[in-house]
């Protein structure tokens, strides 16, 4: 299909850059949630921020741009919001022309360091090609955001050829959530003062129930579920149905509901397929396999595999299902459904991912289940965790045969995680 955008003259490309700047200044004037996340950019590298829609990627981008403007660098900033319908559809050739026009508009930029930002880059087919050219030929820092994990990872590893770095952005951690709420923790007293310990527990269960999506955290309780329903509808439409041209919308929605209602549960494509068929959906098993991959690609839920050196054994065993945020569970669950234990396990999974770990569950040779084996991707060190809401029950559970079998089979000590030692657990991941 011919797009009027494809035939734009250079002056019109300049106009597109200008109205993108106007849009940027409008967004900078709007109220934003600050986040204590530093974006470490490198010259000659593109930093890709990858994560769920509405998780705060664009806000991080805007905060970073605002800091550069305060340093007097506004003339060296190019920003394109690629969800702006006035820029779409766009391909890599048009994107390349827009970047070239940015330098032509102010020729001194050729000899200066520039800062290029592309929000929701997955809307541009072949986006990595012009970006790699600019990275290799210009002195610049570049940040892109996207809500497709595989697409960004594939382009970073392939087309950018070592010129890209990926960083996953997850919902707020407990620390970030407390800071957002203005909840001040007296670190010196948390282990000695029962009042402080009780306050931490109250905050923790509030966080566990509320989740960590930035906008949801600052929304009145009476409006949270309606806002979450809107989030979910948009994600289903834009990140799944439209992105992957899915026609069987009802079956897809049925699959998403099953995943969001059952965090921490073992799943398999075959069982999910049979469940959908029993509900009257006309769907193929291959479609279920594809949709599970699409859902994980959009950061809506994750499939945690069995820990094994055999890839075949990993693939043939069920996965454990975890979801991106507790609020998605609440918005689709039946009234009165109580699932706090699995939501806590889900939270620990997210903390491990946030810390940069590859996460598995484990079955001992005797059939005992270990909630998590976490492999640090930098140091390759391994740790094992068992999660429980009840500290006393957990201690009894950890002392049973599973802990001894784990030590014998993998040489790992099974570490308990409960609300009582949750802060210590999180801090140990930051070391």
pLDDT given at position 235: 93
Q: How many CB atoms lie within 10 A of CB 196?
A: 16
Backbone angles phi, psi at 298, to 5 degrees: -90, 5
Round to whole Å and give the CA distance between 394 and 399. Answer: 9
* Range name among 194-208, 215-229, 272-286, 397-411 with the lowest pLDDT average: 397-411
- pLDDT by residue (tens digit) across 74-98? 999 999 998 888 888 889 999 999 9
Among the four given CATH numbers 3.40.50.620, 3.20.20.450, 3.40.50.300, 2.30.40.10, the one describing domain 4-168: 3.40.50.300
- pLDDT by residue (tens digit) across 344-395? 999 999 999 999 999 999 999 999 999 999 999 889 999 999 999 886 665 5
Question: The domain at 339-431 falls in which architecture?
Answer: 3-Layer(aba) Sandwich (3.40)
Mean pLDDT of the chain: 88
**Residue ranges of the chain that CATH labels 3.40.1350:** 339-431
**Residue ranges of the chain that CATH labels 1.10.10.10:** 221-337
302 forms beta bridges with: 322
pLDDT given at position 8: 47
pLDDT given at position 160: 79
2, pLDDT greater than 50: no
323 or 225, greater pLDDT: 323
Name the pLDDT band for 330 (thresholds 50, 70, 90): very high
CATH number of 221-337: 1.10.10.10
277's CB contacts (< 8 A; 6+ apart) are: 283
**Can you tell me the mean pLDDT for 19-35?**
76
Name the pLDDT band for 184 (thresholds 50, 70, 90): confident
pLDDT given at position 95: 94
69's CB contacts (< 8 A; 6+ apart) are: 28, 77
Q: 383: which 2 tokens?
A: 């740790």
Instruction: Enter the pTM of the model.
Output: 0.89
pLDDT given at position 11: 67
Name the pLDDT band for 40 (thresholds 50, 70, 90): confident
**Residue ranges of the chain that CATH labels 3.40.50.300:** 4-168
pLDDT given at position 3: 36
Q: Are strands 369-376 and 382-387 parallel, antiparallel or unpaired?
A: antiparallel
Please state the length of the chain.
Answer: 431
Round to whole Å and give the CA distance between 384 and 404. Answer: 12
Round to whole Å and give the CA distance between 370 and 348. Answer: 13
Round to whole Å and give the CA distance between 93 and 91. Answer: 6
């Amino acid at each position: 299909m011919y797009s009027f955008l494809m035939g734009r003259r250079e002056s019109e490309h300049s106009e597109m850059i200008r109205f993108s700047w106007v849009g940027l200044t409008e967004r900078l004037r709007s109220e934003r949630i600050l986040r204590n996340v530093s974006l470490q950019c490198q010259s000659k590298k593109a930093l890709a921020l990858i994560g769920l829609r509405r998780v705060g990627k664009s806000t991080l981008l805007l905060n970073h741009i605002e800091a550069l403007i305060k340093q007097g660098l506004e003339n060296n900033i190019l920003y394109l919001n690629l969800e702006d319908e006035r820029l779409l559809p766009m391909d890599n050739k048009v994107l390349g022309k827009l970047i070239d026009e940015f330098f032509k508009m102010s020729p001194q930029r050729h000899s200066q360091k520039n800062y290029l930002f592309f929000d929701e880059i997955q809307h541009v087919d072949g986006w990595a090609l012009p970006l790699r050219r600019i990275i290799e030929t210009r002195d610049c820092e570049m940040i892109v955001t996207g809500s497709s994990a595989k697409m960004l990872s594939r382009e970073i590893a392939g087309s950018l050829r070592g010129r890209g770095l990926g960083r996953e952005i997850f919902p707020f951690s407990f620390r970030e959530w407390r800071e957002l709420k203005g909840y001040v923790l007296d670190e010196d007293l948390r282990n000695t003062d029962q009042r402080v310990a009780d306050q931490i527990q109250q905050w923790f269960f509030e966080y566990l129930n509320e989740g960590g999506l930035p906008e949801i955290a600052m929304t009145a309780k009476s409006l949270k579920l309606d806002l979450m329903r809107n989030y979910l509808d948009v994600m289903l439409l834009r990140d799944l149905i439209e992105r992957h041209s899915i026609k069987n919308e009802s079956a897809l929605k049925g699959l998403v509901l099953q995943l969001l209602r059952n965090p921490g549960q073992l799943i398999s494509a075959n069982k999910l397929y049979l469940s959908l068929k029993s509900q009257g959906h006309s769907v193929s098993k291959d479609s279920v396999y594809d949709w599970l991959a699409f859902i994980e690609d959009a950061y809506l839920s994750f499939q945690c595999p069995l820990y094994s050196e055999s890839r075949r054994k990993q693939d043939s065993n069920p996965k454990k299902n975890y979801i991106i945020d507790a609020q998605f569970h609440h918005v689709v669950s039946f009234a009165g459904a109580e699932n706090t234990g699995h939501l806590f396990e889900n939270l620990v999974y997210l903390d491990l991912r946030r810390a940069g770990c590859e996460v598995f569950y484990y079955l001992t040779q005797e059939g005992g289940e270990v909630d998590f084996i976490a492999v640090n991707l930098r140091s390759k060190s391994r740790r094992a965790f068992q999660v429980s809401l009840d500290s006393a029950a957990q201690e009894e559970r950890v002392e049973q045969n599973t802990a001894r079998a784990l030590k014998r089979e993998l040489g790992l000590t099974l570490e308990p995680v409960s609300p009582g030692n949750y802060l210590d657990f999180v801090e140990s991941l930051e070391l």
